[in-house]
């Protein structure tokens, strides 16, 4: 057993594209690249000028993430109030 496998047994056990990414505790962060991807393709389709895509995609990404955060906070408040 070499030094690397002693120090990083979890990393060596992980095989990309075969094993799932260990993001169980921070799964909500995966929403960010998904949101950005949706916004970029949506704006690539909608914008007549390609130069507008980055700015408009950034704006719509913030809107979507803000909406998701608002919905999460609203649901958290309702659940807290009920329980």
Partner 1 sequence: MPEPKTVSSVPPPLVALAGWVVPGAGYFLIGHKTRALVVLVTIMLLFLGGMLIGGVRVVDAPNLRGSGSIGYEIAQKPWFIGQVLAGPISLVGAAVSRHFPASHARVFEIGTLYTAVAGMLNLMALIDSAHRAARGDVR
Span interacting with partner 1, options 2-10, 27-35, 59-67, 68-76, rule CB under 8 A: 27-35
Any alpha helices (H) in 1-83, and if so which ranges? 3-7, 9-13, 31-46, 53-82
Of 5, 8, 12, 30, which one interacts with partner 1 (CB under 8 A)? 30
Q: How far is the CB of 48 from partner 1 (least distance, A)?
A: 9
Span interacting with partner 1, options 5-13, 19-27, 64-72, 73-81, rule CB under 8 A: 19-27
Q: What is the C-alpha separation between 35 and 8, in angstroms, rounded? A: 32
Polymer length of the chain: 83
């Amino acid at each position: 057993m070499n030094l690397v496998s002693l120090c990083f047994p979890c990393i060596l056990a992980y095989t990309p594209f075969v094993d799932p990414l260990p993001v169980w505790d921070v799964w909500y962060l995966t929403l960010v690249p998904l949101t950005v991807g949706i916004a970029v393709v949506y704006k690539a389709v909608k914008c007549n000028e390609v130069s507008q895509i980055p700015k408009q995609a950034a704006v719509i990404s913030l809107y979507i993430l803000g909406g998701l955060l608002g919905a999460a906070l609203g649901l958290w408040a309702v659940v807290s109030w009920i329980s």
